[in-house]
Structure 1
């Protein structure tokens, strides 16, 4: 395996500047993880503010129970025991619970969390526990209910998991039937090409769906099976028992809601002064909290001294909302701007592993952290990879195609057309252009003569000319199709290159599912990812197998 860094722009300019030119955006972020002293300063701050977070023993007890159910490896128990002790810090990162773990970037985030925790522990000479924050409180089912694989006929196929009721409840509360699971797993089995690893990974997929009546539970079991032995602790953000521990934090968010809102609006103005647009919506009167009713998760706003959703389905005074919180904490949920605050109120976060989009919207939260007496943790870019197998490398060498050629769709298409033109038995465009030119030389004088005979004949001749030219172009297209069929094998190689590296014109890691890769490379491939040296900057790297 050879790992090479290749240039691939971040998804947003703010993340790019954060990584490469921190001083230009330090108004928005707390500290530069590229500076070694930032790590020690953050650790010291965590020690000083131990009393401000949720009690470690209560937190550890809940994590122990949750992971005992879904992620019961002894290494996880040891990690939770460490977390229970003062002085232990956490590297955390999170993602929605996608089908079959979702796109590859989810796995890369877990790998980054594990590597960063080990590096931090070695650097600071103290335990640093890796935690994966499952965003089970999110309610957008369409974002998580599918997985993409590349089928044997070179099609990007989507497998979709169906649910029963169409409620807008958190994913952790959305029930999935055994029949729906079996249908999704059967589709995966049909679409994956046969390989020496297929039976083993399908056994894992089927085993984890047992007793999993929602997508978050299934996701947790898969992540535990893949990463539990490395000590990755799992946390479901919608866990009702965890919510009970979070009640004091929600209370502060409600009581200081106007201050928090003001901080977000101030930061939007700061961003504008730096030339950036906010990547998350900051609306006037937004409470940045959700309330879960019987059938849906409702975003709350402040109107006329009350907290209510857009349509007025629920409405509370501040005191009523606090009373509801104490009685039913499981009905409360964070949005994208308050989730970072909850995370740091719950865990002793040394660093948070984030994708480019997350780094951008975290830039809105620094002042909000301060309103709650918190400080933004170190933000650690997620590692990014593209995997290129041996067969793909041979194709790229054969057709003299580079990584840069593939990432630019127009350049790649020109390469494809140039190759096809060089293979043609006849120069189609050249020959047809010659015929069209010769036809024009013969036909145009005829039209001039006809106009002298009768004006109507000239118009009729022009229509006739255009029809003939259309037929010539039709024949040109048919000739090209015939030649493409002759060179179908080579063109399939081009398709395989493009669909493997940039499916749907997106980086591989943002589309294909983990089990697409495991079917090709086996379960040991994850261990190989773990062996790749940690890259703090999150620069994109190519794994040549």
Structure 2
């Protein structure tokens, strides 16, 4: 079974052109991801700049060693000291238990692209994963979705006593309630031969007293560390210190940078492309954490930290930055600039939303004199279990039917095939015969009493209405009698398009690890191809 991005209603005009007609959007990007020449040019530009290679390598070695890094990961970090080495970035929020499936697809795409570029460019390209540890939306990362043994979409939420909303995720410590959360996860997973092993390993990382962001990092390191993935924790005070010059430029040039951003948005709008990032005017692209991560607003000659209403002059805010750089973090606009300022970033692997917001950033890179990386689309994957595939085949359906149509329409199509032969034709024929008889009778009535013509027309309309109603009731009765078909197709939908969302955006990996074991990771790694730019349908057999 095959899919294209054209099949998915979630695909925006911008992403569709990015994939299929790059020449329409090339003005918004640094290079065409399909052409090796784009990467060669970017690499040549990177060699003209100096980076904090030794300092960065030292920080990453410390961070990753604490996560249980593999030999290959530590080797990759050491390669960073080489002036010819570059990096491929991806990143994600630190969702509990690893977040949605696409997190793992992003990381694998990142690793495989780095390996492919290393071969093509004959130089070391290292895969880096940026933890969104500075993010402060706890409600986005505190839950998972999975399918319970009855194939129902189930949300399981971690509910600590402490209110962490608004706090950087790097500060979130898992509390006693992680135990009830882990119990709920176990109760909603089927009994399999892999269950104990998977849950024991998972909750070895996610346990009371651990930092949420570090639990995420350790879990990802466990899953993909052997492939050399390097974790970057931007909440690290030493990294913040190195990034201070970019924060300083944002403070000094905020008005100019805001105008540049606005102009790009107008160009996107003129081409009928959406703006992924909606930015309020007069707000800096930084957060300041004085107890709570807060936006900063420009108000005449002052900068106001909104959470505390503290006011700073430009000089005072820069003074705070110099004294306490660890209080500062970038928003979604400035974060990519900091990545490319700190690291020789050759490419960024992103999903459709990230591809869209990078289109808004090219001119900001230029303004800050930072090299923009080539933007590369991550793998989009649909996991199709054998039983679900058999159900589709039983009813002569394709995965596209489930992803592109309302499930009731799909059910109707299937049930129509199981109705008695010519049932609809018989209804239509009967309606036509009755209509013909009425027309014959109408002329007779009109001859006898012309004033009854209107009453006759009303009666004819009512009869026609009731016949249509009867036809619908007949079909609905057929649907009720075929309850099993209906239930099976709803289960298929739950597997492939849960709550009208792409599977990769909804489900957590633990559901699939529970059924297929840790060999699933190797299967995914082997199956995801770096030069395949269409959604991939992977069939999961009982034994991988």
Q: Same fold (TM over 0.5)?
A: yes
| Deviation (angstroms), 1:248 | 2.5
Query: Counterparts of 1:267 and 1:421 in 2: how far apart (Å)?
Result: 51
Distance 1:418 1:285, change over 3 A: closer
Query: Counterparts of 2:384 and 2:285 in 1: how far apart (Å)?
Result: 42
Secondary structure of the residue aligned to 2:27 is coil
Counterpart in the other structure of 1:405? 401
Within the alignment, does 1:202 sit opposite 2:199 as a pair?
A: yes
Counterpart in the other structure of 2:47? 47
Q: Deviations over 1:73-104 (max 9, x none)?
A: 22211111111222111011011011111111
Counterpart in the other structure of 2:62? 65
**Is the deviation greater in 246-255 or in 484-493?**
484-493
Distance 1:494 1:291, change over 3 A: same
Within the alignment, does 1:542 sit opposite 2:533 as a pair?
A: no
Counterpart in the other structure of 1:22? 22
Q: Deviations over 1:200-234 (max 9, x none)?
A: 21111111124653321111111011011111011
Counterpart in the other structure of 2:446? none
The 8 Å contact of residues 82 and 88 in structure 1, kept in 2 or not, is answered as yes
Distance 1:521 1:306, change over 3 A: same
Unaligned runs of 5+ in 2: 438-454
Instruction: Pick the aligned partner of 1:362 from 354, 358, 364.
Output: 358
| Deviation (angstroms), 1:136 | 1.1
**Is the deviation greater in 267-276 or in 421-430?**
421-430
| Deviation (angstroms), 1:189 | 0.5
Within the alignment, does 1:372 sit opposite 2:368 as a pair?
A: yes
| Deviation (angstroms), 1:114 | 0.6
Within the alignment, does 1:420 sit opposite 2:415 as a pair?
A: yes
1:348-497 map, 5 Å: 348-410=344-406, 412-423=407-418, 486-497=481-492
Distance 1:432 1:5, change over 3 A: closer
Instruction: Pick the aligned partner of 1:318 from 314, 320, 345.
Output: 314
| Deviation (angstroms), 1:312 | 6.4
Runs of 4+ in 1 over 4 A off after TM superposition: 421-438, 479-486
The 8 Å contact of residues 172 and 213 in structure 2, kept in 1 or not, is answered as no
The 8 Å contact of residues 304 and 311 in structure 2, kept in 1 or not, is answered as yes
Secondary structure of the residue aligned to 1:282 is coil
Q: Deviations over 1:170-226 (max 9, x none)?
A: 1111233033x1122111111111222212211111111246533211111110110
Q: Deviations over 1:274-317 (max 9, x none)?
A: 232321123322211111121x2111121111111457622211
The 8 Å contact of residues 198 and 513 in structure 2, kept in 1 or not, is answered as yes
Secondary structure of the residue aligned to 1:298 is strand
**Is the deviation greater in 116-125 or in 364-373?**
364-373
Instruction: Pick the aligned partner of 1:504 from 491, 499, 516.
Output: 499
Query: Counterparts of 1:148 and 1:340 in 2: how far apart (Å)?
Result: 29
Query: Counterparts of 2:363 and 2:270 in 1: how far apart (Å)?
Result: 16
Query: Counterparts of 2:431 and 2:189 in 1: how far apart (Å)?
Result: 48
Counterpart in the other structure of 1:303? 299
The 8 Å contact of residues 12 and 357 in structure 1, kept in 2 or not, is answered as no
Secondary structure of the residue aligned to 2:28 is coil
| Deviation (angstroms), 1:483 | 5.9
Q: Deviations over 1:307-363 (max 9, x none)?
A: 114576222111111111112111111011111101101111110001111111111
Unaligned runs of 5+ in 1: 442-457
Query: Counterparts of 1:136 and 1:538 in 2: how far apart (Å)?
Result: 29
Query: Counterparts of 1:166 and 1:544 in 2: how far apart (Å)?
Result: 39
Secondary structure of the residue aligned to 1:27 is helix
Query: Counterparts of 1:520 and 1:431 in 2: how far apart (Å)?
Result: 49
Query: Counterparts of 2:21 and 2:429 in 1: how far apart (Å)?
Result: 56
| Deviation (angstroms), 1:528 | 1.2
Q: Deviations over 1:498-539 (max 9, x none)?
A: 111111111111111111121222211111111125244632
The 8 Å contact of residues 354 and 380 in structure 1, kept in 2 or not, is answered as yes
Distance 1:276 1:437, change over 3 A: closer
| Deviation (angstroms), 1:71 | 3.5
Q: Deviations over 1:386-425 (max 9, x none)?
A: 0112111111111001122111233x42331243355468
Query: Counterparts of 2:431 and 2:41 in 1: how far apart (Å)?
Result: 75
Counterpart in the other structure of 1:150? 147
Instruction: Pick the aligned partner of 1:171 from 164, 169, 174.
Output: 169
Query: Counterparts of 1:166 and 1:353 in 2: how far apart (Å)?
Result: 29
Query: Counterparts of 1:212 and 1:274 in 2: how far apart (Å)?
Result: 50
| Deviation (angstroms), 1:273 | 2.9
Secondary structure of the residue aligned to 2:62 is helix
Counterpart in the other structure of 1:528? 523
Within the alignment, does 1:38 sit opposite 2:33 as a pair?
A: no
The 8 Å contact of residues 151 and 157 in structure 1, kept in 2 or not, is answered as yes
Aligned residues: 518
**Is the deviation greater in 264-273 or in 303-312?**
303-312
Query: Counterparts of 2:152 and 2:188 in 1: how far apart (Å)?
Result: 10
Secondary structure of the residue aligned to 1:84 is coil
| Deviation (angstroms), 1:244 | 2.1
Secondary structure of the residue aligned to 1:48 is coil
Q: Deviations over 1:124-160 (max 9, x none)?
A: 1111111000111111111111110011222111111
The 8 Å contact of residues 154 and 495 in structure 1, kept in 2 or not, is answered as no
Query: Counterparts of 1:489 and 1:264 in 2: how far apart (Å)?
Result: 54
The 8 Å contact of residues 88 and 348 in structure 2, kept in 1 or not, is answered as yes
The 8 Å contact of residues 409 and 505 in structure 1, kept in 2 or not, is answered as no
Counterpart in the other structure of 1:276? 273
Distance 1:211 1:155, change over 3 A: closer
Query: Counterparts of 1:311 and 1:226 in 2: how far apart (Å)?
Result: 38
The 8 Å contact of residues 421 and 427 in structure 1, kept in 2 or not, is answered as no
Secondary structure of the residue aligned to 1:386 is strand
Query: Counterparts of 1:107 and 1:264 in 2: how far apart (Å)?
Result: 31
TM-score for both structures, normalised by structure 1: 0.86
